[in-house]
Amino acid sequence: MTGADSRAAGARRPWESPALPVGERVPVWAPGAGRVELSLPTTGEALPMERVGDGWWVSPRALTPGTDYAFRVDGSPDRPDPRSARQPYGVHGPSRYIDPSAWAGAWTDDGWAGRDVRGAVIYELHVGTFTPDGTLDAAAGRLGHLARLGVDMVELMPLAPSPGASGWGYDGVSLWAVHEHYGGPEALARFVDAAHREGIAVCLDVVYNHLGPSGNYLGAFGPYFTAAHHTPWGEAVNFDQAGSEQVRAYVIDAALRWLRDFHVDALRLDAIHAIVDDSPRHVLAELSEAVVALSDELGRPLGLIAESDLNDVGVITPVDERPPARSPSLGMTAQWADDVHHALHARLTGESQGYYADFAAPGAWLRAYSHAFLHDGSWSSFRGRRWGAPVPESTDPRRFVVFSSNHDQVGNRAVGDRPAASMGDDALAAQAALVLLSPYTPMLFMGEEWGTRRPFQFFTDHDDPALAAGVSQGRRREFADFGWSAKDIPDPQAPSTVASSRLDWDEPGAPDHSRLLQWFTRLIALRRELGWSQRRRWPGVEEADGVITVAYDDVIVAVNLSGQERPAPDHGEALASWEPGEAGAGPRRPGVLAAGQTLIARR
């Protein structure tokens, strides 16, 4: 894959000079190298590459699609292309040259108009455990289920190649490639095309704050990392020190390529609070401007969703507007709102340990649910300091993505247990209503829609024995302080940990699951009927005697968590009602909410 066809708007790389037709000559950036060779493992050749300026080198001849190749920098061993589109032999092996135009004629989504992130029903899934086969093609075979459910956008956990066959994807190292075990880049194109045929947009989770520890050879080519900053994963990606211009381009080009060449509709950016950039113009602001330009060029909406721990609306403030809080304006379309998750979880499960302590305090969950942030400049006990900034009333609540489950909040628990493992169906139904009919953009986690109780555990497949042992031991030590026995903690490297995390597709048809699936489907249908995706209304939220009431101008959501009958709030036509009990307990008395009942009605 050449870098010439994937670039930030308005940028020009040296190999793109009209005086130097590149064709399929492969470029690589190695500014400090005195010699770079193109290695062709099939023939055993090592061909000197041509220096073209500004640290760039190009191969001496064009490569044909399907050619395996690698680079040698000043006599180094063969190293994969930093902009490799395919790693057929894993993260340590040679790259394979592919041409995206090879599948350009196979697209069938010419009529696809795109989908705005804001207000969409998002569905997060992990390709490797979503189906028994664990591939993109197998996941595409389940898109009909998601369409019937009413999903607007599928969010794929990271697809970047990482060691072995199994992993969450957050230790990927080839930011331009697709994990071979998932089917490679062609399979991603087929998945996106199939999703668009079903009317479903695709969001890709990408990791630009760090790279994995195994198979990361970027440092052999140039100053991709800097010791000037540190992250939880070690040295930071170099976004603001010497040589950072091309590092920024490396990331921005990769992002634009998914959106343009693979027709992806949005990107979810992992842990942006760990992207350290002290330059005058933050790399994420530059990325957001490039995405806006590409959206205008393609004529369809493109979105950026940030995972941020900052509790600061500067993240979602357009770059040309002054942020109301501390962080710079980054121009993200939306951001995850972990505080809403923590608030709902603490209220519905009663958990109060760790960071749930603040959210279990009286009234805390109401504040978080109705304002997106609990920590909006208030004291955060688990951080040991004041944290965050208030959300202005003028903020569009759809810019916050909320959920009752996701890969982090489930998989980072000791045994990967979902809320369904400790909650009954009545509580799950209430939780679904509070998420799907919140003022925010809702997200479901795979299997949640039928109340699966299968865990989603943390798993890896490192091929370095020392690294594998370190991950397994570290996981046990992490939870020892919470009183967990080492034998109770699933070994991330064990095949059984992956197997136990796979969805069971026989479950949705079982009576105890199908009723919840119908409820989720009805709630999502209600969103459409009521034009929920276009709303920008902050509701009134209160709780009295165990009854939660979320009131909009025209609709009311009432949830009875008291364990007893309670008076129902005044309402008009009932739009949907979850009746407690396996099959409901018959007609309800007028004006009464049964214990465990959830009611959606007109006001």
Binding-site residue ranges for substrate? 268-273, 338-342, 407-412
Catalytic residue at 565? no
Distance in angstroms (rounded) separating the CA atoms of residues 206 and 192: 16
Q: Please, is 347 exposed, middle or buried when counting C-beta atoms within 10 Å of its C-beta (0-12, 13-18, 19+)?
A: buried
Q: Please, is 243 exposed, middle or buried when counting C-beta atoms within 10 Å of its C-beta (0-12, 13-18, 19+)?
A: middle
What's the angle, vertex CA 592, arms to CA 588 and CA 596, rounded to 5?
80
In DSSP terms, which residues pair with 79 in a beta bridge?
A: 71
Q: In Å, how far are 124, 192, 503, 563 from 151, measured between CA atoms? A: 10, 14, 18, 32
Kindly name the residue from 270, 312, 426, 461 that is annotated as catalytic: 270
Binding residues: 268-273, 338-342, 407-412
- CA 143 to chain centroid, in Å, comes to 18
**Other beta carbons within 10 Å of 252:** 23
Query: Could you tell me the end-to-end alpha-carbon distance of the chain, in angstroms, rounded to an integer?
Result: 57
Catalytic residue at 307? yes
DSSP secondary structure string for all residues of 38-60: EEETTTTEEEEPEEEETTEEE-S
Read off the tokens for 337.
């709102």
The residues near 195 (Cβ < 8 Å, ≥ 6 apart) are 140, 143, 154, 201, 202
483 in the Ramachandran plot: left (φ > 0), alpha (ψ -120 to 50) or beta?
A: left
Kindly name the residue from 307, 358, 448, 491 that is annotated as catalytic: 307
Q: Are 180 and 88 in contact (CB under 8 A)?
A: yes
Q: Which residues are catalytic?
A: 270, 307
